[in-house]
């Protein structure tokens, strides 16, 4: 295994000592492995915040392409998996919080909508670092995306943090609530119905 592949493998494993040793030996920090992914990319994916910190200190680009198809950035990748500590390291290194990468993903939207309930701690950290709570991704705000996916807890969290309640958010939730009720009449307290209630309580009128 050549030196670059050793670096990428060590970064993915979170082996900080080996990563530091290889960097000291002159291995290029952002050189891709035979699989096309860099040490930073795979360290972020695995959630190794200390490894990420070492790579960034060695000059790794926090805005580089990341993900299996190069469709993300390191911050988007960390936000999507709820790796809050890694998100913090990347933000401290100057990673931007707005739309980014070739698909123009917004880290806050990814943190708010991936997983069963989103990633509340990651969302709060992004907001503390200046992420726009109403910043749109593909013409929808984080609140509207959360409503679309029936992320009840996240809808409450975003509203509590100052997200603008919109008719579109209510409309997205209502369409899905009706579809769910039609499919399962007993599911009147389903996640979309609860999302509708939360948005109505925030003052959105039908």
Q: Is the pTM of this model over 0.75?
A: yes
Q: Is the pLDDT of residue 110 over 60?
A: yes
Three-state SS at 84:
helix
Torsion angles phi and psi, residue 66, rounded to 5? -145, 170
- Beta-ladder partners of 140: 137
- Where residue 188 falls among pLDDT bands split at 50, 70, 90? very low
In a domain? residue 194: no
Kindly state whether residue 161 falls inside one of the protein's structural domains.
no
Residue 195 in any domain: the answer is no
| Strand, helix or coil for residue 170 | helix
CATH number for the domain including 84? 1.25.40.20
pLDDT exceeds 70 at position 36 = yes
Question: DSSP secondary-structure letter at 137?
Answer: B
pLDDT reading at 180 higher than 70: no
Full residue range of the structural domain in which residue 12 is found: 1-99
Number of domains in the chain: 1
- Between CA 109 and CA 86 the distance in angstroms is 17
Q: Is 100 helix (H, G, I), strand (E, B) or coil?
A: strand
Is 85 inside any structural domain?
A: yes
Residue 177's pLDDT is what? 75
Is residue 12 included in any domain, yes or no?
Answer: yes
Task: Classify residue 149: in a domain, yes or no.
Answer: no
């Amino acid at each position: 295994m050549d030196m670059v592949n050793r670096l990428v493998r060590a970064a993915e494993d979170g082996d900080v000592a080996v990563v530091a040793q290889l960097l000291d030996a002159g291995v290029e920090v952002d050189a891709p492995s035979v699989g096309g992914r860099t040490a930073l990319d795979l360290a972020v994916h695995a959630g190794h915040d200390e490894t990420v910190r070492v790579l960034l200190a060695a000059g790794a680009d926090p805005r580089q392409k990341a993900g299996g198809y190069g469709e993300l950035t390191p911050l988007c990748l960390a936000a999507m998996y709820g790796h809050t500590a890694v998100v913090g390291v990347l933000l401290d290194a100057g990673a931007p919080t707005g739309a980014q990468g070739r698909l123009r993903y917004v880290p806050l939207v990814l943190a708010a909508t991936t997983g069963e309930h989103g990633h509340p701690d990651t969302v709060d950290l992004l907001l503390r670092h200046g992420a726009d709570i109403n910043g749109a991704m593909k013409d929808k705000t984080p609140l509207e995306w959360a409503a679309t996916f029936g992320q009840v807890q996240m809808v409450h969290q975003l509203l509590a943090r100052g997200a603008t309640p919109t008719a579109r958010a209510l409309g997205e939730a209502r369409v899905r609530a009706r579809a769910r009720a039609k499919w399962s009449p007993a599911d009147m307290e389903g996640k979309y119905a609860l999302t509708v209630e939360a948005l109505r309580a925030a003052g959105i009128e039908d």
